[in-house]
Amino acid sequence: ADEAYISLDELSHRIRNYRSRLEPRPQRLSEIESRFSVIDRLKKKYGDDFTEIQKHYFSLKEIYEKLSCWELVIEEKKEELFKKENLCSEMCERISVERKKVAKFFEKKIVSFLKELNISYPKFIVSIEKEEMSSTGTDNISFMFSANSGVLEKPIRDCASTGELSRVFLAIKTLLASK
């Protein structure tokens, strides 16, 4: 019994000693209560257990990370677009050069066919003018025509009669069929 009494007395002394070292910290208590309040609100909003709240947190974090690197993605896409625009410009330029080469040949052949179709003094010009890039390139192509000597060529839609138009289209069709 003495031994038990000594053990209890020693335990009591330790507890008093421990208690005296504890400092009341109302600020820390307030922080803990505030965190519990936040957790309760999260439970109401996102689910009753912590794993559901965590899932939602990681989902939002993933979305945030994607959005935060969005500017980098935009810059990469701008660079890619710039390279593709340059490539398109180069291709449009090559196409334009080829069109101009073919246009001279085309003009001569059409004039030749028009003479065979009894237009005495035909003038046929493929007019190629630059325009903004589109799906067909950077050339605006129109046909200029005159059926009489001394008359300036005008856009074919403005100056050719129906008979002349028929013969021009027959010449074009004949030339294209021969290739």
**Would you state the structure tokens that stand for residue 22, as one six-digit string?**
């504890």
pLDDT of res. 179: 66
Give whole-number Cα distances, 42 to 32, 47, 56, 62, 78, in Å: 15, 7, 10, 19, 40
Give whole-number Cα distances, 114 to 93, 98, 110, 122, 143, in Å: 31, 24, 6, 7, 14
Amino acid at 111: V
3-class SS shares of the chain: helix, strand, coil, % to 5: 70, 15, 15
Pairing of strands 123-134, 137-146: antiparallel
Q: What is the pLDDT of residues 113-166, one digit of tens each?
A: 999 999 989 999 999 999 999 888 999 999 999 998 888 999 998 888 889 999
For 102, counting Cβ atoms within 10 Å of its Cβ (0-12 exposed, 13-18 middle, 19+ buried), the class is exposed
| Mean pLDDT, all residues of the chain | 89
pTM, two decimals, is 0.55
Q: Could you tell me which residue, 23 or 168, shows the higher pLDDT?
A: 168
**Would you state the structure tokens that stand for residue 6, as one six-digit string?**
């000594």
Amino acid at 175: L
